[in-house]
Amino acid sequence: MDLKSLIREIPDFPKPGILFRDITTLLRHPDGLRCTIDSLTEKCQSLSPEYVVGMESRGFMFGTPLAYNLGAGFIPVRKPGKLPAAVHTVEYELEYGTDRLEIHQDALPPGCRVLIVDDLIATGGTASATAELLQQIGCQLVGFGFIIELKDLGGRQRLPDAPIVTLVEY
């Protein structure tokens, strides 16, 4: 299936000059959604993760069914103030300013095999920050999985050395 044909392009969002890749049109398409999850499962199976980590919020949408298919647990990485127990925190750079991500300190056992999943890799800041959180816990990063990669933004170069799976490239 041509997943790219199911992703809507919205010019000048969220600001002029940006061509936004909208996955809501992919999510509403039953066969496209199934193909997305099945393809990601097939490409990530050999990485043998024990856990899938997804970042708020679109990483949750793809990470949870992927974890189910892989027989792995799912762990959410959230924006500040959303998790109720003690957390590890990492601050990372955005195009204009900084942001933070958090994970429960007891979310993962040290040494476990973890796959990071999100809908898109652009500059790589969010995925790189999530990898930092996993390093704080002492996890083994087995790879990254993304639905979309915006190649011109070079996000891949910011990530730690681990396999990177993508389904659609722009």
The reported pTM is 0.96
Is 103 among the domain residues? yes
In this predicted model, what pLDDT tens digit does every residue of 106-133 receive, in sequence order?
999 999 999 999 999 999 999 999 999 9
State the CB neighbour count (10 A cutoff) for residue 156.
16
Catalytic member of 58, 78, 156, 158: 58
- The yes-or-no answer on residue 149 being catalytic is no
Peptide bond into 30 cis (omega under 30): no
Q: Residue 2, SS3?
A: coil
Peptide bond into 57 cis (omega under 30): yes
**Residue 56 confidence class, pLDDT cut points 50, 70, 90:** very high
Q: What is the pLDDT of residue 97?
A: 81
Is 52 among the domain residues? yes
Length of the chain as a residue count? 170
Catalytic member of 21, 42, 78, 95: 95
CATH number at residue 144: 3.40.50.2020
- How many domains is the chain built from? 1
Distance (Å, whole) CA 120 – CA 147: 6
Residues 6 or more apart whose Cβ sits within 8 Å of residue 165? 40, 43, 44, 143, 144, 145, 146
Which two tokens mark 61? 């949408």
Is 26 among the domain residues? no
Is 90 among the domain residues? yes
- The yes-or-no answer on residue 34 being catalytic is no
In this predicted model, what pLDDT tens digit does every residue of 72-117 receive, in sequence order?
999 999 999 999 999 999 999 876 789 999 999 999 999 999 999 9
Alpha helices in 3-137 (DSSP H): 24-27, 30-44, 58-70, 125-137
